[in-house]
Amino acid sequence: MNKVLVSLVALVATTLVVSPGSAQQLASLETSRIVIAPPQSALARTIKSGLSAAYYGARPDTRAHEEAQRLYFLYGERHFEPIWLAEQANGTVTFSPAATKIITLFENAASEGLDPSDYLTPQIDAARLSGDGIELATLETAFSAATMRYADHLHNGRIDPQSISTLLDLKRKPINEAALLEQLARSNDPAAILMQLEPQHREFQALKAALANFEQSSAARPTPISDGPVLRPGNSDARLPAIRARLELAASTSQLYDDLTVDAIRSFQKGQGLEVDGIIGPATVAALNGGVATRREDIIANMERWRWMPSDLGDFTVFVNIPEFRLSILRNGQEEYTTRVVVGTTKNQTPIFSDSIRHVVVNPYWNVPSSIIRGEIAPAILRNPGYTDSHNMDLLYNGATVSPWQVDWTQVSPSNFPFRVRQRPGAGNALGQIKFLFPNKHDVYLHDTPSKSLFARSYRAFSHGCVRVQNPMEFADALMANEPNISRASLESMFGPSERWVNPQKQIPVHLAYFTLRVEEDGTIRSFGDLYGHNEKLIAAMGLDAIEPPAIVAEAETAPRELSP
């Protein structure tokens, strides 16, 4: 029994206080005195015995010990009395009404994009209600573990983002299991309480509705255009008949990318806001597959990523969707401003996380990241010490500027390069004239760029990880809408040779997100390419698709060689 209880308590989630309102009202735990109340019934004594054995039998400083302790304290505060089991007058033991309703939620978990088998475990078996005290105690704690697992999956998702990629740097939202379990046990409507834990974001709720209607609408759902090589006029490809059908051209079995189809693709690209080049690359294929969610697993994977997001995005916030290559400013969930962005390459991916914009820097220095120094700048300086002057750069050692002509470069290599490098403000600065800082461990931010031509492309993954903004001064004006003393004009008046820092009165939440499906206000679902492969890896991790994840979307176009963040 001890082994069973240890395995059960290891499934219980971490802490967050649930109030009767909404998930956004959840409060932090305060330190309080722990009281272990003595059991007052035979079943309670059995529960205590099992939990005590699990607690004291686990090795200290392990997750099993920590979670066994948490469950022991949880039941200890209530005299180890069961939460979910009720003893009737005739001596029989039954599930409480609340437990019965929660079991129904477990059975219908697929409607939430979850897996019922995660909660309807072998330990939760109604037939065992006639078992002995040890079996009943095991069933009681198993049900608490399953309920908290279900609550945690609603709130945080089934999959740890870091298991998909270390660049998915998203914080888990804690749950106070004691408060939640007590609230659920007393409630006549436990489903309403648990549904407070799922994302309330408009797009999540729309995807959930699309999942519910998926089977009914499947007959009208066209077969998706598959990924493949970039198609240029004159190429041949087996996908061309399907592409013509999607464009509602005359039916043809020809696999030639002919002039009629090129003209139709150009018109389609113009209507979708893509680069009008007649080239069918990943962005155009994704757009052709847009309008409806083509796969059930795509809906579920995007719902999972919404669960990874903060419960409250902020009343006034910046939202960057990496696969969409687009930035938006949202006020109360409504878009006030949008512009194109350039994001990291598949090799230098933009990380996914949330933070707050705290500073605006005009005429910024570019403090070159060490990875770019080692990989690109150090070798260039070793070949030509004049490289720094030609690129308006300073060589720094212990904070002091060093002339490259005073260094014995025969003693230096890229691997032992002892200098920091920064690029001075100016027209050729890789950050352009302005950057928007939200200090973070990834050293990424939003910024201007002198490489304006890349914004005309439909595929815009060309940076070293930072996010380049197409219209940075328009963005700055929209971003400072709530700041009485900062405007586009005041920022532009600072243009010059010296770096200038501006600190808004209010920090502005910024979210670097990764959604391959977006839901527009009218309910239309648009599809975007899986730029970094995160979507297919998540689908595989959730057990939704037995097919091996495809390779990361190839870069359809190459950018001019440049140094940039």
Give per-residue pLDDT as tens, 37-96. 888 888 788 888 878 887 888 888 886 787 678 778 888 888 888 888 877 777 777 888
Q: Choose the most confident range, by mean pLDDT, from 40-44, 91-95, 125-129, 498-502.
A: 498-502
Q: Do 282 and 459 form a contact (C-beta atoms < 8 A)?
A: yes
State yes or no: is 447 an active-site residue.
Answer: yes
Q: Give the least confident one: 287-291, 317-321, 353-357, 463-467.
A: 287-291
- Long-range CB contacts (within 8 A, 24+) of 139-142: 139/85, 140/43, 140/47, 140/82, 140/83, 140/84, 140/85, 141/5, 141/8, 141/9, 141/47, 141/50, 141/51, 141/71, 141/75, 142/4, 142/8
Backbone angles phi, psi at 418, to 5 degrees: -90, 5
Residues 151, 301, 145, CA angle at the centre, nearest 5°? 20
State yes or no: is 464 an active-site residue.
Answer: no
β 420-423/393-397 pair status: antiparallel
User: Which pLDDT score is estimated for 25?
Assistant: 38
Q: Mean of the pLDDT values across residues 363-369? A: 93
Q: Phi-psi category of 426—alpha, beta or left, where left has phi over 0 and alpha has psi -120 to 50?
A: left
Portion of the chain with pLDDT greater than 70, in percent: 86
User: Which pLDDT score is estimated for 434?
Assistant: 97
What would you report as the CA-atom Rg of the chain, rounded to the nearest whole angstrom?
28
What's the rounded Cα separation, in Å, for the pair 309 and 303?
10
pTM exceeds 0.85, yes or no: no
Q: Which residues pair with 95 in a beta bridge?
A: 85
Q: In this model, does residue 17 exceed pLDDT 50?
A: no
Q: In this model, does residue 8 exceed pLDDT 60?
A: no
Residues 375, 378, 384, CA angle at the centre, nearest 5°? 130
Q: Phi-psi category of 99—alpha, beta or left, where left has phi over 0 and alpha has psi -120 to 50?
A: alpha
153, 447, 511, 534: which is the annotated catalytic residue? Answer: 447
65, 201, 466, 511: which is the annotated catalytic residue? Answer: 466
CATH superfamily of 291-365+427-565: L,D-transpeptidase catalytic domain-like (2.40.440.10)
pLDDT in tens, 20-51: 343 433 333 334 456 788 888 887 888 888 78
Q: Do 516 and 207 form a contact (C-beta atoms < 8 A)?
A: no
Task: Concatenate the DSSP letters of all residues of 37-67 into one string.
Answer: PPP-SHHHHHHHHHHHHHHHHSPTTSHHHHH
Backbone angles phi, psi at 42, to 5 degrees: -60, -45
User: Which pLDDT score is estimated for 561?
Assistant: 55
The label of the residue with tokens 């060490």 reads 370
pLDDT in tens, 159-168: 999 999 999 9
What's the rounded Cα separation, in Å, for the pair 322 and 446?
13
Domain regions of the chain by residue span = 2-198, 231-280, 291-365+427-565, 366-424
What's the rounded Cα separation, in Å, for the pair 159 and 534?
12
User: Which pLDDT score is estimated for 526?
Assistant: 86
The label of the residue with tokens 């002509």 reads 405
Please give the mean pLDDT across all residues of the chain: 86
Backbone angles phi, psi at 8, to 5 degrees: -75, -50
Buried b (16+ CB within 10 A) or exposed e, 432-460: bbbbbbbebebebbbbbbbbeebbebbbb
Q: Mean of the pLDDT values across residues 7-24? A: 36
**Closest C-alpha among 281, 204, 181 to residue 558:** 281
User: Which pLDDT score is estimated for 63?
Assistant: 66
User: Which pLDDT score is estimated for 7?
Assistant: 32
Mention every residue, 6+ apart, whose C-beta is less than 8 A from residue 258.
none
Q: In this model, does residue 559 exceed pLDDT 80?
A: no
Q: In this model, does residue 551 exceed pLDDT 70?
A: no
Q: Give the least confident one: 4-8, 133-137, 277-281.
A: 4-8
Q: Do 62 and 123 form a contact (C-beta atoms < 8 A)?
A: no
pLDDT in tens, 189-209: 999 999 999 999 999 999 999
pLDDT in tens, 272-327: 777 788 999 887 887 887 655 568 999 999 999 999 999 999 999 999 999 999 99
